Amino acid sequence: MSKNILSVASFALLGLIVGYAIFGKWGGDYVSMKTLFSFGGNGFQNAWRSVTGIEDMRNKILLCGAAGAVVGVLLTFRFKK
């Protein structure tokens, strides 16, 4: 069971890394992890993230991580037989 969880977590992390490599650039530089994964804040900060596209960037990176987790689940069940 722990081997399955480790496999899914590994693929999820790989998906996050690939997503960050693809979608993490803004203006030619990579956005810091602190900026990407800082949740909450006041209304001005939330509006700034929405206007600058950081919110959309974060969503794309998290979706890549979720896709990696799904691939990990599928491969775990495929090779389990």
Alpha helices for 1-81 (secondary structure H): 2-23, 33-36, 43-52, 54-80
Mean pLDDT of 55-63: 90
Percent of the chain with pLDDT over 90: 40
Q: What is Dmax (Cα atoms) for the chain?
A: 52
- The answer to whether residue 44 scores a pLDDT higher than 80 is no
